[in-house]
């Protein structure tokens, strides 16, 4: 177990539950934490089928895990690049089938409002970075529908959200500074938002509904940037991660952001930030396994 620093001021916030699903090395596991209380993760249940590099979207009660790697496999019921499954976050259990994405892929970025979730880009089952954006109505079980397109095909980006706008750092197989946005309630193509402070890929995102934080990535594993989601502009330096990685997963409530896992040196570490206070991350606790490429959902902020 890692040594971790406990900040007593954090315990005044609500006890929102955060979940991490899937990931390379462990694939089917779902872990959960109380975002307000530093400590180790516990077992929640299992995904319908094992996969990594999936994406998570959520409302206040339901978390959905979309797509994932590998896109095809022998001896499984669903094409893992198409599968959407869901859980009720307040109740530990295995996931249930929700529907399918419009195209099999993995490594897409996700954004959501309190009712709609969007999967943006990803690497296609038959090859090639995808520019497609899918959406689901989180409370209504069914297949995803076409939302629009990103400006280019991309994978291994990250998303942050308000209840109105989704902001996507495009990432890619090669690092990029590009950030784009969509209006989540209105289907259509993405528009330019601004640039990261440094080109990145395999990064993670979390947000409190007004500020979004992008953390980690292969080019600068320690780096965290932030944006004000309502105002299109370039990102600003936020601070450094406690232990920087590519392939992390981000979740948040309305105060605290959590970055978990990573592949630069395979880790089970979770670390936290106070989203409205720029500064370095502190250690939160450990996942149940060493992993990367998870999907994250939470009961807290979008």
Question: What confidence tens digit (pLDDT) does each residue in 107-143 have?
Answer: 999 999 999 999 999 999 777 999 999 999 999 999 9
Q: Which helix (H) or strand (E) element contains residue 258?
A: strand 256-260
Cα 114–chain centre separation: 15
Largest CA distance in the chain: 50
Integer Cα distance of 34 and 224 in angstroms: 23
Q: Are 294 and 272 in contact (CB under 8 A)?
A: no
**Average pLDDT of the residues in 24-30:** 89
Mean per-residue pLDDT over the chain, rounded:
92
Q: Report the alpha-carbon distance of residue 27 to residue 253 in Å, rounded.
A: 25
Model confidence pLDDT, tens digit, residues 65-112: 999 987 766 667 777 799 999 999 999 999 999 999 999 999 999 999
pLDDT digits (tens, 9 = 90+) for 165-217: 999 999 998 899 999 999 999 999 999 999 999 999 999 999 999 999 999 99
pTM of structure? 0.93
Tokens of 140: 């209504």
**Section 31-49 average pLDDT:** 97
**Three-state DSSP class for residue 230:** coil
The Cα–Cα gap between 219 and 207 comes to: 22
Which segments of 109-253 are extended strands (E)? 109-112, 116-124, 129-137, 145-154, 158-161, 165-169, 176-183, 191-200, 204-207, 211-215, 223-228, 236-240, 249-252
Q: Is 230 left (phi over 0), alpha (psi -120 to 50) or beta?
A: alpha
Structurally, at CATH architecture level, domain 14-298 sits in: 6 Propeller (2.120)
Q: Where are the domains of the chain?
A: 14-298
């Amino acid at each position: 177990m890692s040594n971790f620093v406990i900040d007593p001021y954090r315990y005044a916030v609500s006890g929102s539950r955060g979940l991490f699903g899937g990931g390379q090395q462990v694939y089917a596991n779902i872990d959960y934490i109380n975002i307000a209380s530093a400590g180790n993760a516990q077992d929640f249940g299992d995904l319908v089928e094992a996969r990594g590099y999936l994406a998570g979207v959520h409302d206040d009660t339901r978390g959905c895990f979309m797509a994932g790697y590998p896109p095809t496999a022998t001896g499984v019921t669903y094409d893992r690049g198409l599968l959407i499954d869901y859980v009720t976050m307040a109740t530990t259990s295995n996931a249930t089938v929700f529907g399918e994405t419009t195209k099999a892929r993995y490594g897409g970025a996700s954004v959501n409002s309190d009712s709609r979730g969007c999967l943006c880009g990803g690497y296609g089952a038959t090859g090639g970075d995808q520019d497609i954006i899918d959406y689901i109505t989180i409370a209504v079980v069914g297949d995803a529908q076409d939302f629009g397109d990103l400006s280019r095909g991309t994978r291994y980006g990250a998303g942050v959200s308000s209840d109105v706008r989704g902001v996507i750092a495009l990432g890619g197989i090669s690092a990029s500074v590009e950030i784009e946005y969509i209006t989540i309630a209105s289907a259509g193509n993405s528009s330019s938002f601004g640039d990261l402070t440094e080109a990145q890929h395999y990064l993670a995102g979390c947000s409190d509904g007004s500020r979004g934080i992008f953390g980690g990535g292969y080019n600068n594993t320690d780096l965290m940037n932030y944006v004000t989601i309502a105002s299109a502009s370039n990102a600003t330096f936020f601070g450094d991660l406690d232990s920087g990685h590519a392939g992390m997963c981000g979740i948040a409530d309305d105060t605290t952001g959590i970055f978990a896992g990573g592949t630069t040196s395979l880790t089970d570490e979770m670390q936290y930030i106070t989203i409205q206070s720029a500064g370095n991350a502190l250690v939160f606790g450990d996942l149940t396994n060493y992993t990367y490429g998870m999907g994250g959902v939470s009961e807290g902020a979008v």
